[in-house]
Amino acid sequence: MRIPRDVLLSRDSETLVFRVATACALVHALDDAFLNRQPGVPLGQHALAAAIAIVVGGAAIIAFPLLRPGLRAGLAFVFGVLATVNGAMHAVHIAKDGPAHSDFTGALALAAGVVLIAVGLWIPWRHRREGAQTARRRWINRAIAVVGGFVVLYAGLYPTALAIVPTHKYRDPIPAAPTGYESVEFDAADGLQLSGWYAPSRNGAAVVLVHGGGGDRTGALDHAQLLRRHGYGVLLYDSRGRGESDGTPNAWGWGWERDVEGALDFLNERRDVHDGRIGGLGLSTGADVLIHVAPEHRALRAVVSDGATAASFADQTATFGYDEATPYYWTLLMAGQVFSGYSPGPPLEERVPQVSPTPLFLIAAGGFPTEIDFNRHYADVAKEPFTYWELPAVGHTAAVRERPEQYERRVIAFFDEALRARG
């Protein structure tokens, strides 16, 4: 199809504003993917996301003046929401910790997104008297637009925009190491450099703590202090893309297994850790990751899974089947894979029984809407030795604070038995 020259060179105000704003958003996509990547991120990791952005954005820039006003408005609004959510991540980082990497073009994308949303809202007003001539036809068109818009919003725009947050979340500043901890660095299994804190063992055993998807090492400090009181060495670190560690973030923990492998190597080389007595305690996403790691790495001799949920679309459907939420979750997780450059591992329902004979302690709280549902399913397929503890009135991974005595007693008893630690 040949596009007329006057369309390509259109100076219509809607077209000009849309094209300039979209081009600004595409500049950020290229900058983020190739020019100012996060430390340790290979050149091709975000190539697919950048290619999709260029192809879709470029096609929209060319075709925009050929579309009907309703489609132009929808296109501008969709692009605007995605650019705004992406840019907002960078704006928050600039406000909290100063600019770094692609933050400058991220701020440009935020401005472009706001402009595109405004264009998307302005176009229907500008063309309000155009189109269908009869009232009946206008109402039919409006009904189609409402139904179609809801489908696009629920199954497309909303989950895609939401997937931007866990794959682009800014890094929070990491404070100085608490008393009793030393700052450490070690390599993940694929070579990324990770940063963390380590408190040496006093009983010959150590536990690696894996934080939740949106957090960093500071989120597991309460659990670390609990373990330290009983003589355990504790390693807290920032997973890839979080805190001070290299890599790109994703809150589903895809690729974090390589970080845990590096942590196990680090602990195995410590002289204060005797006879490979190493356990793991994972929180939320960290719990999912340890379940994935344990069957492949028997160096991990015991696993506490506090708040495991779902790490993939397969996990979602294995527990809840296919229902009205299926299109939403499919789009969310597919967009997450495109944005992050990572893919999920095997379904957790397959991994949980494979953890055996390594002891597994599943903890499920009620603060996260579906956490108990997921963990009941995992408990059903788990093999001995495993323990299941359900806390319906406790927040997600909050038992250490909301049920401190019970949590300490049960977790320490589990590690003492599994690692044969001595005080």
**pLDDT score of 58 more than 90:** yes
Q: Which pLDDT value is given to residue 421?
A: 53
pLDDT (average), residues 252-272: 97
Backbone angles phi and psi of 154, in degrees to 5: -75, -45
DSSP string, 362-401: EEEESSSTTHHHHHHHHHHH--SSEEEEEETTS-TT-HHH
Residue 68 identity: R
Predicted confidence band of residue 413 (pLDDT cuts 50, 70, 90): very high
What gap in Å lies between CA 259 and CA 186, rounded to an integer? 9
Whole-number average pLDDT of the chain: 93
- Report the percentage of the chain scoring pLDDT > 90: 83
**CA end-to-end span of the chain, whole Å?**
77
Q: Whose CA is closest to 261, among 294, 226, 219?
A: 294
Predicted confidence band of residue 420 (pLDDT cuts 50, 70, 90): confident
pLDDT (average), residues 20-44: 94
Angle at 161 between CA 37 and CA 333, to 5 degrees: 80
Instruction: Tell me the per-residue pLDDT of 364-403, one tens digit each, with 9 for 90 and over.
Output: 999 888 999 999 999 999 999 999 999 999 999 999 999 9
Report pTM. 0.92
**pLDDT score of 135 more than 50:** yes
The CA radius of gyration of the chain, in Å to the nearest whole number, is 25
**pLDDT score of 142 more than 90:** no
* Omega cis (within 30) before 385: yes
**pLDDT score of 307 more than 70:** yes
**Burial of 154 from C-beta contacts in 10 A (0-12 / 13-18 / 19+):** middle
Least confident of 114-128, 130-144, 271-285: 130-144
Count of Cβ atoms closer than 10 Å to residue 337 Cβ: 20
Q: Which pLDDT value is given to residue 423?
A: 46
Residue with tokens 């406000």: 95
Asked if residue 275 lies in contact with residue 382, where contact means CB atoms within 8 angstroms, the answer is no
Asked if residue 240 lies in contact with residue 248, where contact means CB atoms within 8 angstroms, the answer is yes
- Report the percentage of the chain scoring pLDDT > 70: 94
Q: Which pLDDT value is given to residue 12?
A: 83
Instruction: Tell me the per-residue pLDDT of 181-217, one tens digit each, with 9 for 90 and over.
Output: 999 999 999 999 999 999 999 999 999 999 999 999 9
Instruction: Tell me the per-residue pLDDT of 309-358, one tens digit each, with 9 for 90 and over.
Output: 999 999 999 999 999 999 999 999 999 999 999 999 999 999 999 999 99
**pLDDT score of 134 more than 70:** no
Predicted confidence band of residue 266 (pLDDT cuts 50, 70, 90): very high
Q: Which pLDDT value is given to residue 216?
A: 97
| Sheet order of strands, 386-391 included | 182-187, 193-199, 233-237, 206-210, 278-283, 303-306, 360-365, 386-391
